Chains A and B, each alone.
Chain A
Amino acid sequence: MAIVEPGKRPGPRIEQSRVFSKKFARGKKSGYAGLMLTSLVDMFTIIVIFLLMNFSANGEVLYMSKDIKLPDAYHGAQLERAPVISVSGDAVTFDGRQVTSTDDLVKGDVLNVPELEDALRDERRRYETIHARDPEHPFRGLVNVQADRKIPFKVIKRIMFACNQSGFGNINFAALAKEGEGPRKVALK
C-alpha cells in the first residue's frame, strides 16, 4: 500500500470534479496576491482634491491659542502678515511675547500702555531698518489684533491707543471667517 500524506482526501468522483477538486488541490500556491489598487487610488485622489480646495498659500497668520475664542465675521477680508497683538483673559502678548497682563489694562484709568508701545516701536524700527533700501515696501502701520470675544472694549481701546502712539494706524480685528448672509443669532421673543 502506498504511503500517503495524512489528511482529507477526495473520493474519485470529487477528484474529477472541476469545481470541488480545487479544494483538495495540493499544488504549491503562488506567493503573490493581487491587490485591488483602483479603490485606493480613487480614495487618494478624493483626499488630494479636498486638501487642495482647502489649501491656503498664506499659511497661518495668527498664533491660535486655546485661551482666545475669536468672534465670527461674515464680511471680513483676508488677513495680511503683520505683527500680532493677542489679548486673552490673562495676558496681552505681542508676537508671542507677553508684554503685560490683561488685568492691568482693565484696572488702569490711563490710556497708554508703555510696554506695548515700546515693543511696537521696536518692531517699527526693525521693519524700517530692514526695508530702508526697499521703496516698494514702505511702512504701512499694519497690525493684527486678536482678542477673546469676552474682552471688554476698555482693553481694546488702550491697545488701539498704544498702536496709534507707535505709528500703527491700520488695525485689523481678527475674527473667524464665516460663510453666509449675516448674523442671525439674536432671537426676538
Chain B
Amino acid sequence: MAGAAAQPHTKSGKKALDAEINLVPFIDLLSCCISFLLITAVWTQIAGLQVASSGGPPEPQQKQEQTVDLKLLLTEKGYQLTMPGAAVEIPKVTSTGGGAAFDRRSLAEKLKTLKASLPDQSAITVQPEDAVAYDDLVSTVDICLGEQLRNVTVAPLN
C-alpha cells in the first residue's frame, strides 16, 4: 500500500516533519500503463476520403439551387475544369524530380475562386484517365474536399 513513511526520530528526539512517499506502487502503475499504451499504439494515422462512384446511389443534397455540373478531368496534359459554358485548363508543371506533375496549387486556387462565386456548390465529378496514378487521384480529391466541395464523385473519363 502506497503511503508516506514517517522519518525516524531525530537526535533531539523531535519527530521529523519530512515524509517519504513510497514510489514503488506508482512506478508499477506507470509501467503497466506504458506497456498497455505501447501495445495498443497506432503509429500511422490513416485518413479516409469518401467518394461516390458514378454508378452508385446519389448522395442526398439539401440545396440544388445555384449549383452547376462541375467536372474535373485528369488527363495526361493536366487538369481540365469544366462547367456548362466554360472550361479552364491547368497544364502540368515540372516537378522537383524533373517529371511532369499535376499543378495542385493552381487547381486549389481555381477551386477557391469558383467556390467564392458559387458558395452553394458542393458537388464535383472527378474524371481521371486510365493512366492517372492513385496518388494523383487522392491528391485531387483531397484538394476538392479542402475547398469545401464535399460531394466528390469519381467517374472514368473513357
Q: Which residues of chain A are within 8 angstroms of B41 by Cβ–Cβ distance?
A: 51, 54-55
How far does the Cβ of B3 sit from chain A's closest Cβ, in whole Å? 15
Q: Which residues of chain B are within 8 angstroms of A174 by Cβ–Cβ distance?
A: 46-48
Are B47 and A73 in contact, CB atoms less than 8 angstroms apart? Answer: yes
Question: Given A71-B139, A161-B55: A153 and B104 within 8 A (CB)?
Answer: no
Let me know if B51 is at the binding interface, CB within 8 A.
yes
Are A175 and B26 in contact, CB atoms less than 8 angstroms apart? Answer: no
Among B37, B45, B94, B128, contact of A189 (Cβ-Cβ < 8 Å): B94
Are B53 and A164 in contact, CB atoms less than 8 angstroms apart? Answer: yes
Please measure, in the bound complex, the distance between the C-alpha atom of A156 and the C-alpha atom of B47, giving whole angstroms: 18
Let me know if A1 is at the binding interface, CB within 8 A.
no
The binding surface of chain B is classed by DSSP as mixed
Let me know if A76 is at the binding interface, CB within 8 A.
yes
Let me know if B1 is at the binding interface, CB within 8 A.
no
Q: Which residues of chain B are within 8 angstroms of A80 by Cβ–Cβ distance?
A: 48
Considering the complex, which residues of chain A in the window 134-189 have a beta carbon less than 8 Å from any beta carbon of chain B? 141, 144, 147-154, 156-157, 160-161, 163-165, 169-178, 182-189
Please measure, in the bound complex, the distance between the C-alpha atom of A105 and the C-alpha atom of B89, giving whole angstroms: 30
Are A164 and B55 in contact, CB atoms less than 8 angstroms apart? Answer: yes
- Interface segment among B5-13, B116-124, B142-150: the answer is B142-150
Are A152 and B30 in contact, CB atoms less than 8 angstroms apart? Answer: no
Question: Given A44-B34, A157-B130, A157-B156: A77 and B47 within 8 A (CB)?
Answer: yes
Q: How many chain-A residues does the 8 Å CB contact rule pick out?
A: 66
Encoded as 1 (CB less than 8 Å from any A CB) or 0, chain B from 100 to 117 comes to: 011111001000000000
Question: Given A41-B27, A160-B154, A175-B142: A78 and B34 within 8 A (CB)?
Answer: no
- Interface segment among A9-17, A57-65, A113-121, A123-131: the answer is A57-65
Are B46 and A177 in contact, CB atoms less than 8 angstroms apart? Answer: yes
Are B40 and A55 in contact, CB atoms less than 8 angstroms apart? Answer: yes
Question: Given A61-B46, A80-B48: A152 and B132 within 8 A (CB)?
Answer: yes
Please measure, in the bound complex, the distance between the C-alpha atom of A30 and the C-alpha atom of B10, giving whole angstroms: 20
Q: Which residues of chain B are within 8 angstroms of A44 by Cβ–Cβ distance?
A: 27, 30-31, 34
Please measure, in the bound complex, the distance between the C-alpha atom of A34 and the C-alpha atom of B43, giving whole angstroms: 38
Please measure, in the bound complex, the distance between the C-alpha atom of A183 and the C-alpha atom of B108, giving whole angstroms: 9
Other than the given A154-B131, A160-B154, 16 more pairs (CB < 8 A) read A37-B27, A47-B34, A54-B43, A61-B46, A62-B46, A73-B47, A77-B47, A78-B48, A149-B133, A153-B132, A153-B133, A153-B156, A154-B130, A172-B48, A176-B45, A185-B96
Chain A positions near chain B (C-beta within 8 angstroms):
37-38, 40-41, 44-45, 47-48, 51-52, 54-56, 58-62, 64, 70-80, 87, 141, 144, 147-154, 156-157, 160-161, 163-165, 169-178, 182-189
Task: For the complex of A and B, list the 8 residue pairs with the smallest distance between their C-beta atoms, beginning with the closest.
Answer: A76-B47, A169-B56, A51-B37, A149-B135, A177-B47, A172-B48, A44-B30, A154-B130
13 of the cross-chain contacts (CB-CB < 8 Å) are A44-B31, A55-B37, A62-B46, A76-B49, A77-B50, A150-B133, A173-B137, A174-B48, A175-B138, A176-B45, A183-B105, A185-B95, A186-B96
Chain B positions near chain A (C-beta within 8 angstroms):
23-24, 26-27, 30-31, 33-34, 37-38, 40-53, 55-57, 74, 93-96, 101-105, 108, 128-135, 137-139, 141-143, 145-146, 154, 156
